[in-house]
């Protein structure tokens, strides 16, 4: 079983890396790009088969370490 | 004043901090490896600058989980003093001894230069040697110094005089130009600029030395 954790800055929090990527894409001629928000994906290999419990435990991990909830939001998907 | 400097893998200002302590107190501080689990008879803990654990995940995030940090927390909870410089400030926010978070600089660049700070509160153990509202010059060297904190906590910091240092010209996007803050009990200070690099040795600037002298005075 795997957990896929997505961590991203909350809406409204300045994302300097996203701004830099926006500028670079526009410089490449992709004029349709209005804004970019970047984040990270963290993939966890987990033992066990209980998806509900896994989601709960991984959400705890996000609160304690994987995300800083002052500025970041996270989502957790459990897959086989 | 008995001082411990915590050393993480990736700390790179630990010996600068030790030299600063040595210069002011005449005694070498205890260098404490992050995996140690004891902090005995220490008055001041210094969390030095650098890139603990390569800033993996977020600056300070992994370091905050080090075994020694439980002791640092207990040390702070007992009212004893903690000084976090640069990466040390980031570690202090990650373990929640100070509110808020240090985000990447708004200009996306690493900023490394001496900068003018305004001393906003000289009524602390860390700053009693400065004059209120005085302008001091302290070197800066960071990529993630853009301080952000929730609005209610920001008002609390401002109302309580917990904002100790403010940038005269904002280098990183930090809210309200904040360069350094204390906790409510005023025994924990986190600051992005490096006072240990302004000790009157390589140049005439000894504005950083005043901070260490203030601590020595307060803790004697």
Q: What is the ipTM of this complex?
A: 0.83
Residue B6 Rama label (left phi>0; alpha psi -120 to 50; beta):
beta
Could you list the residue range(s) of the whole structural domain that residue B173 is in?
Answer: 3-219
Cα atoms in the Cβ-side hemisphere of radius 13 Å centred on A62: 26
B105-145 pLDDT, tens digit per residue, is: 999 899 999 999 999 999 999 999 999 999 999 999 999 99
Check which CATH number belongs to the domain holding B189 and give it: 3.40.50.880
B153-193 pLDDT, tens digit per residue, is: 999 999 999 999 999 999 999 999 999 999 999 999 999 99
Q: What is the CATH topology of the domain spanning A2-79?
A: Mth169; Chain: A , (3.30.1280)
B90-110 pLDDT, tens digit per residue, is: 999 999 999 999 999 999 899
B86 is catalytic: yes
Which residues contact residue B76 at a Cβ distance below 8 angstroms, ignoring those fewer than 6 apart?
A: B45, B82, B97, B183, B187, B188
Confirm or reject contact between A65 and chain B (CB < 8 A).
yes
The total of structural domains in chain B comes to 1
Cα–Cα nearest to B82, from B141, B128, B125: B125
B196 is catalytic: yes
Domain boundaries, chain A: 2-79
| CB < 8 Å to B106, chain A | 14, 16
Q: At B206, is the pLDDT very low, low, confident or very high (cuts 50, 70, 90)?
A: very high
| CB < 8 Å to B94, chain A | 68
pLDDT reading at B203 higher than 80:
no
Q: How far is A8 from chain B (nearest CA, A)?
A: 12
A43: three-class secondary structure by DSSP? strand
- Nearest-angstrom CA–CA distance, A52 and A78: 9
Q: How far is A60 from chain B (nearest CA, A)?
A: 15
Size of the A and B interface in Cβ pairs below 8 Å = 34
């Amino acid at each position: 079983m795997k957990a896929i954790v997505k961590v991203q800055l909350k809406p409204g929090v300045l994302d300097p890396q996203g701004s830099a990527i926006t500028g670079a894409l526009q410089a490449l001629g992709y004029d349709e790009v209005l804004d970019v928000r970047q984040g990270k994906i963290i993939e966890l290999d987990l033992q066990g088969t209980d998806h509900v419990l896994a989601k709960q435990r991984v959400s705890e991990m996000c609160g304690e370490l994987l995300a800083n909830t002052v500025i970041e939001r996270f989502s957790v998907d459990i897959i086989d | 004043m008995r001082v411990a400097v915590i050393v993480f893998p990736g700390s790179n200002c630990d010996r600068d901090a030790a030299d600063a302590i040595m210069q002011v107190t005449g005694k070498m501080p205890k260098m404490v490896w992050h995996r140690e689990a004891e902090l005995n008879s220490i008055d001041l803990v210094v969390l030095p600058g650098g890139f603990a654990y390569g800033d993996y995940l977020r600056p300070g995030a992994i370091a905050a989980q080090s075994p020694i940090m439980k002791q640092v927390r207990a040390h702070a909870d007992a009212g004893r003093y903690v000084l976090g410089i640069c990466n040390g400030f980031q570690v202090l926010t990650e373990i929640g001894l100070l509110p808020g978070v240090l985000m990447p600089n708004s200009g996306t660049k690493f900023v490394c230069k001496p900068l003018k700070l305004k001393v906003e509160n000289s009524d602390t153990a860390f700053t009693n040697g400065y004059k209120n509202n005085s302008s001091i010059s302290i070197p800066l060297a960071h990529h993630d110094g853009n301080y952000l904190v929730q609005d209610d906590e920001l008002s609390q910091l401002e109302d309580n005089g917990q904002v100790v240092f403010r940038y005269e010209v904002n280098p990183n996007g930090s809210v309200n130009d904040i360069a350094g803050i204390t906790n409510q009990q005023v025994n924990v200070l986190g600051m992005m600029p490096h006072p240990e690099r302004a000790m009157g040795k390589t140049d005439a600037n000894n504005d950083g030395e005043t901070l260490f002298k203030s601590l020595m005075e307060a803790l004697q």
